[in-house]
Structure 1
Amino acid sequence: MAFNLTWQAPKPTFPSLPPNITRTFIPTASGPLELLSATTSTLTRKTPLFFIHGGFGSAAVWLEYMTYFSQNGIPCYALSLRGHGNSWYPSFLRMLYWTTKRTLASDLVAGIEHVQELESGKRGEPVEVILVGHSSGGGLSQLILSEGSVKVKALVLMGAIPCFRSLDPWFSIRMLWHAWHPKSPLSSTKLVKNVFFGKSMPIEKVQAFEKLLSPYESLLWPIGMFRPFVNVHNILQGIVDWGTSDRVMVLGGENDKLVTMSIMRRVAGTYRSAFGDLVESKKIEAESKGLRTQGEDNFGKGVTHATIPSAGHHTQNDEPWVVGAKKILSFYEQL
């Protein structure tokens, strides 16, 4: 078996993008961060979607979603955190041992503030994003809202690290099988498919997806989420304009091996309980409705909970990715 492991920072490649998407860079004190944008003069909706990837990901894992939503009139942005995509790369040791979840959260805050300022300037009024966080990026999304770093219009948690703790306390040991390299569990195409995708994903598409993965990852990012790391009540108070709509979406793949359906149900229940507390105490102005059902999805009490049949952990890249995109669009339209 061949292992795709390296200890060197990659050279920038700047691969070509679909014609509807552009690449720019956000300057920060540490280094430039890659920002992909899907915005045109034909976009008809005000609230932008802001996508953030998980471990080993990049802005490019959202290309299909960005194309889909921009074709539905929604401006879209996706950020690559440091050490991912075409953003600046710390050295292997610096990334592995000195890049914490809060370090990466500072990149996410910089990206959201940049986009919200950009969109507000275009429209001449304040604009908040809908934050879509996948996996460990979903953990970061909850962290910055819990700590009051930003305000957003709504929050979508896709296969996200749960608000109560990370998934597996042995993860840091299992991912160091090959000379203490964090990419050990993803060191072959077969492993990538097994960890990230459902059975129907063609191996050729998995091989293409592998090219989007960063060569190494922060060890302190997942370790920082082993224990409960956020306050759900604070997260909900970081979301604006509640009214009568759901403002949190919990979305998972039916065959996700990392964030299982039972975990997603527990996450949705945790958020619904906190939402009820905040409405009752009048800390947010919203209407706490009983649960209501619309097709397969479960709406109500501020939270939409939905599952993507046959999808694995990387729901936005798996074969049924468009099913998840349509569910998010439905969530967007009820805001």
Structure 2
Amino acid sequence: MSFATFFSTLYNYLVNEVLAGYYNLHFRRTRSQPKLRPLPPHISRHFIPSLSSAEGRLGQDYRLELLVCSASNPDPDAYPILFQHGVFGHASVWLEWMTCLRAHNYSGTTYALSLRGHGASWLPSSWFGMVWGVTHQDMCDDLLAGINAVRAFESGRPPVLVGHSAGGELVHPRTDRKYSSLRRRPIFDNWARMDPLVNLRLVLHALHPKSNISTPELMRKAYFGLDTKLEDVEEFGRWAPDYEAMRWPFATLGRKDGTGVLRRTEAADVVPNITDDGGR
């Protein structure tokens, strides 16, 4: 690579990704009201209490968004499905999947949950409180609240859990502690392989949690195909949180198991709970 090519590449990176992305980042709380994305008529929005709210540790306003899509031809034997978003996601990222399953005559009810600080769920009172105050266990508790709500809707029937990215990681504590079973888990590549400069950009963006998707192009690379229209990507970003709980994705490096010891989830913890009951 010639010096001119190297300099041009470096300049484009600093201007188009680092500098442009920096102006899209927020370092303070940006909203006090939930993001209520319009829903299609076949999907309804419900608000459920968080575990902390139910236990009296938080007020009744600390509610979580749960989207519900009933089947067009319901079958009481069909499994309910609970979709869980990942980092910078929200329940409504699953609208197309819920609609698709309904259109293809899936006979179970599908659900999608927004964790705290996401979608129309409650938001911690400060930027710092969300970014560094919310723990991995808080997110696990929110998911468990969603599971409990689905079981209440389904007369005690547990849901099949479908998680994307860090939302899939939240399933691990449910499976290796035998709260539920896992029915196949696809594995995909890691973020650093897709975006080799992600860590450098994170440092230049003062460790802001949204650094890796701070421009529409970066967001398209992370979440969509390169042929996706930028206006569709921007519509997705409109409903995404402006910042994220950093202790949630960091927990993928290892987590405490209740003894105060940081450990990685081992295959032996999860594999015994992977089941296949007739392909349903």
TM-score by length of 2: 0.74
Q: How does 1:63-212 map to 2 (within 5 A)?
A: 63-71=95-103, 72=105, 73-90=107-124, 91-119=126-154, 121=155, 126-148=156-178, 150-152=179-181, 154-157=183-186, 159=188, 174-212=201-239
Q: Is the 8 A contact 1:145 1:235 kept in 2?
A: yes
Deviation at 1:143, TM superposition (A): 2.4
Q: How does 1:44-55 map to 2 (within 5 A)?
A: 44=75, 46-55=78-87
Q: For structure 1, which segment, 222-231 or 47-56, has the greater mean C-alpha deviation from structure 2 after superposition?
A: 222-231
Report the 3-state secondary structure (helix = DSSP H, G, I; strand = E; otherwise coil) of the residue aligned with 2:204.
coil
Deviation at 1:80, TM superposition (A): 0.4
Does residue 215 (structure 1) correspond to residue 242 (structure 2)? The answer is yes
Q: Is the 8 A contact 2:45 2:66 kept in 1?
A: yes
Do the aligned partners of residues 158 and 63 (structure 1) sit closer, same or farther apart at CA in structure 2, a change above 3 Å counting? farther
Report the 3-state secondary structure (helix = DSSP H, G, I; strand = E; otherwise coil) of the residue aligned with 2:252.
coil
Report the 3-state secondary structure (helix = DSSP H, G, I; strand = E; otherwise coil) of the residue aligned with 1:131.
strand
Paired letter, 1:8 = R
Identity %: 34
Q: Is the 8 A contact 1:128 1:152 kept in 2?
A: no
Q: Is the 8 A contact 2:198 2:212 kept in 1?
A: no
Q: 2: CA distance between counterparts of 1:212 and 1:182?
A: 16
Deviation at 1:237, TM superposition (A): 3.7
Q: How does 1:241-320 map to 2 (within 5 A)?
A: 242-243=276-277, 245=278
Deviation at 1:82, TM superposition (A): 0.6
Q: Is the 8 A contact 1:128 1:153 kept in 2?
A: no
Q: Is the 8 A contact 1:130 1:155 kept in 2?
A: no
Report the 3-state secondary structure (helix = DSSP H, G, I; strand = E; otherwise coil) of the residue aligned with 1:141.
helix
Deviation at 1:39, TM superposition (A): 1.1
RMSD: 2.9
Higher relative contact order (CA 8 A, sep 6+): 2
Report the 3-state secondary structure (helix = DSSP H, G, I; strand = E; otherwise coil) of the residue aligned with 1:26.
strand
Q: 2: CA distance between counterparts of 1:238 and 1:14?
A: 36
Report the 3-state secondary structure (helix = DSSP H, G, I; strand = E; otherwise coil) of the residue aligned with 1:4.
coil
Give per-residue Cα distances to partners, 1:211-245, cap 9 Å, x unaligned: 121111111112111246323333244456x45x4
Do the aligned partners of residues 83 and 158 (structure 1) sit closer, same or farther apart at CA in structure 2, a change above 3 Å counting? farther
Do the aligned partners of residues 195 and 84 (structure 1) sit closer, same or farther apart at CA in structure 2, a change above 3 Å counting? same
Do the aligned partners of residues 161 and 49 (structure 1) sit closer, same or farther apart at CA in structure 2, a change above 3 Å counting? farther
Report the 3-state secondary structure (helix = DSSP H, G, I; strand = E; otherwise coil) of the residue aligned with 2:45.
strand
Deviation at 1:173, TM superposition (A): 6.7
Q: 1: CA distance between counterparts of 2:247 and 2:198?
A: 11
Give per-residue Cα distances to partners, 1:94-126, cap 9 Å, x unaligned: 12112222221111111012102220x2xxxx4
Deviation at 1:93, TM superposition (A): 0.7
Aligned twin of 1:8: 29
Give per-residue Cα distances to partners, 1:155-189, cap 9 Å, x unaligned: 54474979xxxx99x96774353243211221111
Paired letter, 2:136 = K
Q: Is the 8 A contact 1:178 1:184 kept in 2?
A: yes
Q: 2: CA distance between counterparts of 1:157 and 1:23?
A: 29
Report the 3-state secondary structure (helix = DSSP H, G, I; strand = E; otherwise coil) of the residue aligned with 1:95.
helix
Paired letter, 2:161 = L
Q: 1: CA distance between counterparts of 2:210 and 2:176?
A: 29
Q: 2: CA distance between counterparts of 1:128 and 1:160?
A: 29
TM-score by length of 1: 0.63
Paired letter, 2:217 = K
Does residue 33 (structure 1) correspond to residue 64 (structure 2)? The answer is yes
Deviation at 1:153, TM superposition (A): 6.3
Question: Which contiguous aligned blocks of 4+ residues in structure 1 show a shift greater than 6 angstroms?
Answer: 170-173
Does residue 24 (structure 1) correspond to residue 51 (structure 2)? The answer is no
